[in-house]
Structure 1
Amino acid sequence: MKKIVVCCVVVLWFTAVEAQKLNFNKDGLFKIAQFTDVHYVPGNSKSDTALLAIQRVLDTEKPDMVIFTGDIVTGRPIKTGWDTVTKLVVDRKIPFAVALGNHDDESGTTRLELEKIITDYPYNCNYPAGGQLSGVMNNVLPVYGSEKDMQVKALIY
């Protein structure tokens, strides 16, 4: 029984990792949409404009990856804010990464707490601190060739 449980856990883990693997498409392209300084505040109607803009970009550009580069959710409750923002990419099954900005930890949530919140979302490509780079959520993400090509063709820092 233990072997079956262990096998199931291993299969699920590899499935989750595979869902986040970044690949160039069959045409050799890899499109990234970057969003920065959104300053989303849950419950603030002014923040709806930012969400609408993100939705339009995602639906128009159909990126292979989204990168949120700092100061994305700056109002409380932080988890609710991240749930709302990441839902836009998770619902579209788009891999995403986050690089924290100077305001991200000013609402009473530490960078390590933010890392835990963000890395728990499906399709998130970040990995926990303690790697080769200092800081929290500072990662190097490999982009592989087409689905059949397992060689790293690019790195995202």
Structure 2
Amino acid sequence: MGFFYPHNIHPYTECQKRRNALELYAEHEKFRVIWDKEYNLMEFLQNIVFRESSRCAYCYHDRIKSTALLAKRGKFDYFTTTLLYSKFQNHEMIKSIGESLAKSTGIPFYYNDFRKGWKEGIEESKRLQLYRQQYCGCIYSEKDRFYK
């Protein structure tokens, strides 16, 4: 089961590309996806503007909390996040947030260092001709990728 939570993704066309890629992958692998139909980019931006240095912590918490609450409502056995696949994300922070939310929701957080499959994932996405994102999703990381 997957969950698509698009609130940090900018621009909207990028959000659509990612959604379409997940639809194709889910169909190929035959798993269901719960789609958050809202696109609350403005709310996301309001929470990070002038707090850019802590934007990732806010984003991680927002995304993982939404996932944990969905898992609780849906009576899932546990929850996790695809953030753990990226070698560019702060795993210790993600793990800490996940474990904290596990305590508050009563749903266990499944931690695994999915980065071990990084290269295989890239090859599989190319084989399936899936869109591959070039940045985490937020407008700041979109800018950063051009300045590196």
Q: TM-score per shorter chain, which class? A: 0.3 to 0.5
Highest CA radius of gyration, 1 or 2? 1
Under a length normalisation based on structure 2, what TM-score does the superposition of the two structures give? 0.32
Q: Which has the higher contact order (CA 8 A, sep 6+)?
A: 2
Under a length normalisation based on structure 1, what TM-score does the superposition of the two structures give? 0.31
**Structure showing the higher helix proportion among its residues:** 2
